[in-house]
Amino acid sequence: MTADDSLVGAALEDAREKMARAIDHARGEFAGVRTGRAAPALIERLKVDYYGSEVPLQQLAGFTVPEPRILLVHPYDKGALKAIEKAIQTADLGINPSNDGTLIRLVFPQLTEERRKELVRVVRQRAEEGRVALRNVRRATRHDLEALERDGELSADDLDWAEKELEKLTHDRVGEIDRLLAHKEQELLEG
């Protein structure tokens, strides 16, 4: 392996890692869009004001789904009940939490057709944000590769090969976001 190969390999591996993080982020964004079914992913990342600190809900409570439309939040500390309830109310999920003194019950209403279409628009927007993030990684990596060529550390042929590999990688990752989007749209429209 020449110095050129290791530089190109490092640049492509860095792009691969950044693109994987962008896809994970998009997957998390999709999980946060409710489908009419109870799912902990909808609320587990909510920030709760817990004794003056912003803490993700998943660190303060456990979750169970006894029925498809009911999510139970079991706080590890009963003193956090009010703060958790407030965080859920201010998250504007369209769900009113019910606090019985030991746990919080969330009942998910059936989604209307209009709300489903609105949520499909939201996930399409988030998918586009994911695609833009992937293209930004591609652009930054291409810029780095071109700088290596300008500095004489990379031949024109190696640059051409690396750009084709980068394009293939980007295309594959965009396809992954498109598959995630198609799955989420189907989930929303079936709901």
Overall domain count for the chain: 2
Cβ–Cβ under 8 Å, residues 98 and 104? yes
CA distances from 172 to 36, 147, 168, 184 (A): 31, 25, 6, 19
**Are 56 and 96 contained in the same domain?**
yes
The CA distance from 3 to 162, in Å, is 14
**Are 118 and 103 contained in the same domain?**
no
**Are 88 and 147 contained in the same domain?**
no
The answer to which of 34-38, 80-84, 172-176 has the lowest mean pLDDT is 34-38
Mean pLDDT (whole number) for 35-43: 77
CATH code of 76's domain: 3.30.1360.40
Range of the domain at 61: 40-107
What confidence category does residue 4 fall into, taking pLDDT thresholds of 50, 70 and 90? low
Closest CA to 40 of 66, 79, 77: 66
**Are 24 and 80 contained in the same domain?**
no
Residue 37 has pLDDT above 90, yes or no: no
- pTM to 2 decimals? 0.70
CATH code of 18's domain: 1.10.132.20
